[in-house]
Amino acid sequence: LALERAQVLSDLAQQRDALSEANRNLERSNADLDRFAAIASHDLKAPIRAVTSFSELLSARYAPQLAGRGLTYLEQIRSNGYHMQRLVDDLLLYSRAAATDPVFTDVDVSALMREVLTRLDPDLQAAQAQVTATDLPVVWGDAAQLDRLLQNLIGNALKYRRAEPPRVQVRAHTQPDGSCQFDVQDNGQGIDPEYHQRIFQLFTRLHHRDVEGTGLGLAICQRIVEHHGGRLWVQSVPGEGSTFSFTLPGRPHTHSDA
Ligand code: ADP
């Protein structure tokens, strides 16, 4: 019996070593992928800007000379150029979200929301959206990253709207342990349960050919929340709406707090 036990223990130890080796390899290839994404997107920025700005120039100066099909082709070049630009910007954000540690400070989420809403204002106006936010707390986090997180979630709530006007509610509840849960609730198209996990993966888009997007927004959100030590998930009923929730741990206590 003792021999068998020793054998089982040694097998377990071998499996554990193999698992940690696999884990290390995975981390290495993730880091390689992030480096590749960062370098590729950085190097693609300038040529893509050339495509968009020259096509803007062409349509501003030479539109009258470009009859019919010429104008259609130009419009295609321009809109694909903008799409590539967004893709590259999001890829850079995605790889940076892993490469740079959050800079933690006290962040007033009400003030952050005002900034996000000001930036989204043209979209809000166009959709005649009603966005409400109440009692948002001060949290311990990276202001720029939390700004991006809220912007992506509220931006999606507007993009994937169903009822007009779209309604978005942002709520927060602080837990006794100091952590905070945020809910961003919309009355939009909703998401089929089979996609509730997959939408957080890179490049997942669900049948929205007519809506602009890169499929990177939620993957960026996920990285940001994980880097803060929190969790991000969705609850959603197709045809009724979605609630994206995330948690942020409380401010760690330091000696100077005492
Ligand atoms: P993108 O919006 O650029 O496509 P995201 O990563 O932000 O990429 O979202 C992935 C997919 O998840 C979207 O294409 C959409 O199908 C779905 N989705 C995200 N947010 C919502 C929402 N609030 N309501 C319905 N569907 C959503």
The model's pLDDT over 21-78, given as tens digits with 9 standing for 90+, comes to 998 888 888 788 888 888 888 889 999 999 999 999 998 888 888 878 888 899 999 9
Q: Is residue 241 within 6 Å of ligand 1 at its C-beta?
A: no
pLDDT in tens, 136-161: 999 999 999 999 999 999 999 999 99
Task: Give the separation between CA 6 and CA 27, rounded to whole angstroms.
Answer: 31
Q: Which of 155, 135, 143 is nearest to 224 (CA)?
A: 143
Cα(111) to centroid(ligand 1), Å: 25
Q: Which of 168, 205, 208, 220 to mutate to test the pocket of ligand 1 (most atoms within 8 A of CB)?
A: 205
What is the number of alpha carbons within 13 Å of residue 12 lying toward its C-beta? 6
Q: Which atom of ligand 1 is nearest to the CA of 188?
A: 24
Burial class (CB in 10 A: 0-12, 13-18, 19+), 85: middle
CA distance 53 to 132: 37
Q: Supply the pTM of this predicted model.
A: 0.86
Report d(CA 111, CA 202) in Å as an integer: 30
The finding on whether 141 has its CB within 6 A of some atom of ligand 1 is: no
Token pair for 144: 């720029």
Which atom of ligand 1 approaches the CA of 184 most closely?
23
User: Which tokens sit at 34?
Assistant: 């992030």
CA of 152, closest atom in ligand 1: 7
Which residue has its alpha carbon closest to ligand 1 atom 8? 215
Report the separation in Å between the CA atom of 179 and the middle of ligand 1, taken as the mean of its atom positions: 26
Ligand 1 binding pocket includes 221 (Cβ within 6 Å): no
Mean pLDDT, the chain, rounded, equals: 91
CB of 232 shorter than 6 A to ligand 1: no
Who wins on pLDDT, 125 or 68? 125
Check: CB of residue 236 under 8 Å from CB of residue 247. Answer: no
Interior angle at CA 116, CA 111 and CA 120, nearest 5: 145
Specify the residue with its C-alpha closest to ligand 1, atom 7: 217
Ligand 1: which residue has its CA nearest to atom 20? 156
Closest CA to 186 of 165, 208, 200, 214: 165
By the 10 Å C-beta count (0-12 exposed, 13-18 middle, 19+ buried), 133 is classed as buried
Q: How confident is the model over 84-106, as pLDDT tens digits?
A: 999 999 998 898 888 788 999 99
ipTM above 0.85, yes or no: yes
Q: How many angstroms is it from 206 CA to the middle of ligand 1?
A: 7
Tokens of 53: 């700005």
As a whole number of angstroms, the distance between CA 186 and CA 156 comes to 9
Identity (one letter) of the amino acid at 72? T
